[in-house]
Structure 1
Amino acid sequence: MNSYLDFIKDKDFEKSVDYVLKGYYEKKSIEKEKHAKNVVDMLIKDKNTIDEFKLVFDLFGDETHLNDWKMSEIVRQTDKTVNNYIGEFHQMVLGSIKGWTNLGTGDETGVDLKKDDNSIFIELKNKYNAMNSSSQSECRRKLENIVEKYPDSTAYWGFIINKKYKPVCEIWEYTYPKTVELKKDSRILKASGDEIYKLVTGDPNSLKKTFEALQIILNEKIDGYHLSSEDKKSLQEFSNHVFLESR
């Protein structure tokens, strides 16, 4: 059954959404545990090492108190937990589409997705700036290894969110650190989320449709919570901006 999206079965879409919701339940559990600690315990015993210098700058620069800092620090730390889950959401969705495989972790290629006929491979990130220099080099090597092993394939560095939501699908020109040689291979490309979704689904509007379907399914799953009319209007304006820029 495909009542949410025409390119993915409902059970697979629900599974992807439930996976991210699990991250939010985990976040709430961690927040509850951290809120139970007093400020000193959090500073001294928290598994996340606190930058003592930034702490002092935050207190004075933001003109705040330690208890207020504690609240914002808990939000900052636990948000990382959720981001890790969201980073896998698109991989799960795209990997559930007929003809594609979510490679998970441990695959010999080291990337996230592949077309079942080995013609397309994708290393998928959530944002265009998610990788530092070292990670970019590692990603590039993985894609180079893939097109060497599968000469007729195309390998992509995909990122769901591009800068200012601009669509991009182009050859990934790259120079390794401490070298001057520009690497340019027509089989190795970089592409934004709308282009990656179009590549996998064949539908140029599939990323926007996923964004809209997500709101519908979450509205069904989260008991007792509904977006206000004002929030719906603001989200629609944001969506119009994002996906207008993507076209």
Structure 2
Amino acid sequence: MKRQDLMKNKYVNFISDEHLLECVGNLNKSYLRAKNNITKRNFYSNKVDTIKLTFDAKFNDIDEESLIQSEILRQIDKSINNSIGTFHEQILGGIKGFEVGHLSGFDIKATDETLFADIKNKHNTMNSSSAESLFQKLSRYADDYKKSKCYWVQILAKNSFIELWKGEINGKEYSHSRVYKISGDQFYSLLSGEDDALLQLYKALPKAIKDYLHSIEHNNSITENSAIDEIKSETETSKRSILDQITFENYSYYLGFDKL
């Protein structure tokens, strides 16, 4: 597609409006799933630290219901972080000449197999073992595809850069002539040919999200964050505070806690 045709796009120059809206829609569905998954059972699955929540409530002067809602939102946020990475993969996979990996061992590749990439949303999401495993994986791609360059992409990096990935990991020296690490802005630019591609996306998102939400019918039957309603329902009969109810339901097998 010629650049002058792309310039007619409503949102960004490097992917179609339809593809961008599809990616926004996929992420919206992830948000809805995350919200609807926070039932009481799921909320309790990792054990709630009610001692910390007691400090939070008293030191920050937050009422218990608002506090629990914040904790629920924190759990939702953990789930959404993975979906944000997938959003970037889908956006980049919509650029002509590139495609998404779909559980193939890479996140993005060039259709002519001259590029392979693994995308991390944040620069600090890997421990040393994960970094070592990723380097080894990218090195294998570089060795198997002699004309390829392979990238560890950090969407949210501490600087703007593209450089060979080399150094010591777990006490071993690693380097490869075609294995790189790259910041999100540089990777968007590399694939799209647009220096400001990531900025374009950032500036387009409010409009694209608004347009997407206007295009769908809102389902009034969606129940979000049912955990708080389930817990409050229990307090009506137990006469406990919300925090005491959570503590009882999480730790009634602890000495004396069954008397709350």
TM-score by length of 1: 0.75
SS in structure 2 opposite 1:121?
A: strand
Contact 1:111–1:123 under 8 Å retained in 2: yes
SS in structure 2 opposite 1:146?
A: helix
Aligned to 1:195: 186
Aligned mates of 1:184, 1:222 — CA distance in 2: 46
Q: What pairs with 1:74-223 in structure 2 (closer than 5 Å)?
A: 74-105=72-103, 107=104, 110-163=105-158, 166-177=159-170, 179=171, 181-223=172-214
Aligned mates of 1:51, 1:141 — CA distance in 2: 38
Aligned mates of 1:148, 1:214 — CA distance in 2: 38
Q: 1:97 to 1:80 in 2, by over 3 A?
A: same
List gaps (5 residues or longer) in structure 2.
1-5, 216-260
Aligned mates of 2:30, 2:77 — CA distance in 1: 9
Which runs of 4 or more aligned residues in structure 1 lie more than 6 Å from their structure 2 counterparts after TM superposition?
Answer: none
Aligned to 2:248: none
AA aligned to 1:153 is: S
SS in structure 2 opposite 1:20?
A: helix
Q: 1:146 to 1:72 in 2, by over 3 A?
A: same
| Residue-by-residue CA offset, 1:1-50 (whole Å, 9 max, x unaligned) | 8332221122211111111111222233235x45xxxxxx88xx722333
Measured after TM superposition, the shift of residue 61 of structure 1 is: 5.0
Aligned mates of 1:59, 1:51 — CA distance in 2: 12
Measured after TM superposition, the shift of residue 77 of structure 1 is: 0.3
Contact 2:24–2:212 under 8 Å retained in 1: no
Aligned to 1:242: none
Measured after TM superposition, the shift of residue 201 of structure 1 is: 0.5
Aligned to 2:236: none
Point out which structure has higher relative CO (alpha carbons under 8 A, 6+ apart): 2
List gaps (5 residues or longer) in structure 1.
35-40, 225-247
Aligned mates of 2:214, 2:46 — CA distance in 1: 33
Contact 2:165–2:181 under 8 Å retained in 1: yes
Aligned mates of 1:94, 1:27 — CA distance in 2: 24
AA aligned to 1:171 is: L
Aligned to 1:20: 27
> Is 1:11 the counterpart of 2:18 in the alignment?
yes
TM-score by length of 2: 0.72
Contact 1:19–1:85 under 8 Å retained in 2: no
Q: Percent of aligned positions with the same letter in both sequences?
A: 34
AA aligned to 1:173 is: K
Q: 1:223 to 1:9 in 2, by over 3 A?
A: closer
Instruction: Name whichever of 1-10 and 85-94 sits farther off.
Output: 1-10
Aligned mates of 1:150, 1:95 — CA distance in 2: 20
SS in structure 2 opposite 1:138?
A: helix
Aligned to 1:70: 68
Contact 2:21–2:212 under 8 Å retained in 1: no
Contact 2:115–2:150 under 8 Å retained in 1: yes
SS in structure 2 opposite 1:222?
A: helix
Aligned mates of 1:139, 1:53 — CA distance in 2: 38
Aligned mates of 1:221, 1:9 — CA distance in 2: 14
